[in-house]
């Protein structure tokens, strides 16, 4: 077989913003959070339909035991992150306002593993996809798309696996620490997917501000005793936000453009987050499902930024207490550009949460909006080549034809437009509203 072709350097994209890094926890080795006194595990912690509980109040559960079954093709099973007793199953609010069922568990602090856990036998494509589904794997970079669905592709149409290790958001360092602490998992995961799923090449995209991770991955790649290692390349990406967005990563690594309304699969690529890849690599060896994840705790209210392994379902308050964060004025799940601001610290951590950012009063204050000066910076910064100001005006006058023509559905809500706006206008929020208006209009039109 011919040696796969790799780009010598990343292909140049359009737009984006040069944001401050604030990677304060990059040098912090991952600590382990002690088991909290209560675990709350939501059934909706992935894109698609929420899982359906398969346990009842009073049941004893083991760590790693399945407590909810997937309810559709695009869904994912959920497992208990601790051993203990089911206190109740109740409806809870999630960040963003949606509601779902959640399983409340009282830990027994024994962390007894489920006795039926064993490494899966994987020799075929079908067995690998089933193992990914059974593991509860979803995109750990923030999207939460069920991994088994992503890997269930037609091999005739896909040739490239892209490992997303850009981690372009300020503050977040969980993927960075994954590469530094588990480079073998990155490389072995690549080799496993490469060998079974038949990719022609694997490109690991890492922003150049993580030179230590690039170096250690290249070292492990050289040491690998597998002939397929020649099909893997660590690509040094330019440090520019939002380099880690799927469509941006696909173009930077392959020069392919994902069409409107399409997925990376439609241009021959599968994109998987580096932490998701490492989890799968570990699951294939141990059979332990997705019951914990690495979280970055940072922000101006965090005197000692850290990375911490936490059980899924741990409440934010327990994480902040462990990190010594007191009385933050604003809490964000995820990064400051695309994360979600929460109104209290009682929300549980779900699979796709990769950071808890705690801000002091100065950073928590929202700037006052002033009038748009038509400078065009939002247009220049938009990586999707949109015109946010024009879109906002079309939304204000209810011009749905113009909203569709202007391509508002292409907005990836990266926040670049709001970040560069000198008038401090909440441009990204305007874009979200415009997308929602167009979506509702189409639904109502379809019913008529």
Q: What is the pLDDT of residue 261?
A: 81
Q: What is the pLDDT of residue 6?
A: 94
Q: Is the pLDDT score of 444 beyond 90?
A: no
Token pair in block for residue 387? 């015109």
54-63 mean pLDDT: 98
pLDDT digits (tens, 9 = 90+) for 273-310: 999 999 999 999 999 999 999 999 999 999 999 999 99
Q: What is the pLDDT of residue 211?
A: 97
Domains of the chain listed by start with CATH number: 125-286 (3.40.50.11540), 377-447 (no CATH)
| Of residues 307, 335, 353, the one with CA closest to residue 33 | 307
The CA distance from 257 to 225, in Å, is 34
Which of left, alpha, beta for 195 (phi over 0: left; psi -120 to 50: alpha)?
A: alpha
pLDDT digits (tens, 9 = 90+) for 393-418: 999 999 999 999 999 999 999 999 99
pLDDT digits (tens, 9 = 90+) for 151-164: 999 999 999 999 99
Could you write out the three-class secondary structure of the chain? CCCCCCCCCCCCCCCCECCCCCCCCCCCCCEECCCCCCEEEECCCCCCCCCEECCCCCCEECECCEEEECCCCCCCCEECCCCEEEEEEEEEECCCCCEEEEEEEEECCCCCECCCCCCCCCCCHHHHHHHHHHHCCECCCCCCCEHHHHHCCCCCCCCEEEEEECCCCCCCCHHHHHHHHCHHHHHHHHHHHHHHHCCCEEEEEEECCCHHHHHHHHHHHHHCCCHHHHHEEEEEECCCECCCCHHHHHHHHHCCCCCCCCCHHHHCEEEEEHHHHHHHHHHHHHCCCCCEEEEEEECCCCCCCEEEEEECCCEHHHHHHHCCCCCCCEEEECCCCCCEEECCCCCECCCCCCEEEEECHHHHCCCCCCCCCCCCHHHHHCCCCCCHHHHHHHHHCCCHHHHHHCCHHHCCCCCHHHHHCCCCCCHHHHHHHHHHHHHHHHHHHHHC
The CA distance from 119 to 100, in Å, is 31
Q: Please enumerate, as own/partner, the contacts of 223-229 that have beta carbons within 8 Å and a separation of 24 or more.
A: 224/187, 224/191, 226/191, 228/191, 228/194, 228/195, 229/187, 229/191
Q: What is the pLDDT of residue 4?
A: 63
Q: What is the pTM of this model?
A: 0.95
């Amino acid at each position: 077989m011919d040696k796969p072709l790799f780009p010598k350097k990343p292909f140049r994209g359009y737009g984006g913003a040069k944001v401050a890094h604030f990677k304060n926890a990059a040098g912090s080795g991952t600590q382990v959070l002690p088991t909290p006194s209560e675990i709350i595990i939501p059934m909706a912690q992935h894109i698609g339909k929420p899982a359906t509980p398969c346990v009842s109040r009073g049941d004893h559960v083991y760590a790693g035991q399945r407590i909810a079954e997937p309810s559709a093709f695009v869904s994912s099973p959920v497992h208990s992150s601790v051993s203990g007793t089911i206190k109740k199953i109740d409806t809870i609010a999630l960040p963003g306002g949606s509601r779902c069922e959640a399983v409340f568990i009282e830990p027994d602090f024994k962390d007894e593993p489920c006795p039926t856990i064993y490494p899966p036998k994987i020799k075929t494509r079908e067995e690998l996809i089933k193992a990914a589904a059974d593991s509860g794997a979803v995109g750990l970079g923030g999207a939460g798309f069920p991994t088994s669905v992503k890997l269930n592709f037609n091999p005739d149409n896909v040739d490239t696996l892209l490992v997303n290790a850009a981690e372009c958001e300020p503050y977040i360092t969980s993927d960075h620490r994954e590469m530094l602490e588990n480079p073998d998992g990155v490389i072995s995961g690549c080799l496993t997917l490469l060998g079974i799923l038949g990719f022609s090449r694997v490109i690991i995209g890492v922003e150049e501000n993580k030179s230590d991770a690039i170096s250690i991955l290249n070292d492990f790649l050289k040491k690998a005793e597998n002939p397929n290692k020649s099909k893997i390349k660590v690509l040094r990406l330019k440090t520019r936000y939002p380099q880690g967005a799927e469509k941006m990563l696909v173009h930077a690594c392959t020069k392919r453009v994902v069409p409107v309304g399409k997925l990376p699969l439609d241009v021959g690529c599968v994109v998987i987050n580096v932490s998701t890849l490492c989890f799968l690599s570990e699951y294939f060896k141990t059979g332990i499902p997705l019951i914990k994840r690495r979280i970055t705790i940072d922000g101006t209210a965090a005197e000692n930024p850290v990375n911490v392994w936490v059980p899924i379902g741990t409440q934010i308050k327990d994480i902040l207490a462990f990190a010594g964060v007191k009385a933050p004025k604003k809490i964000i799940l995820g990064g400051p550009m695309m994360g979600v601001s929460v109104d209290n610290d009682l929300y549980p951590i779900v699979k796709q949460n990769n950071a808890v950012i705690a801000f002091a009063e100065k950073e928590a204050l929202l700037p006052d909006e002033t009038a748009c000066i038509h400078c065009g910076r939002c247009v220049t910064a938009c990586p999707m080549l949109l015109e946010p100001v024009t879109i906002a005006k079309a939304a204000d006058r209810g011009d749905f034809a113009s909203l569709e023509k202007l391509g508002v559905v292409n907005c990836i809500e990266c926040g670049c437009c709001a970040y560069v706006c000198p008038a401090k206008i909440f441009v990204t929020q305007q874009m979200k509203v415009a997308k929602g208006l167009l979506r509702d209009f189409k639904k109502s039109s379809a019913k008529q």
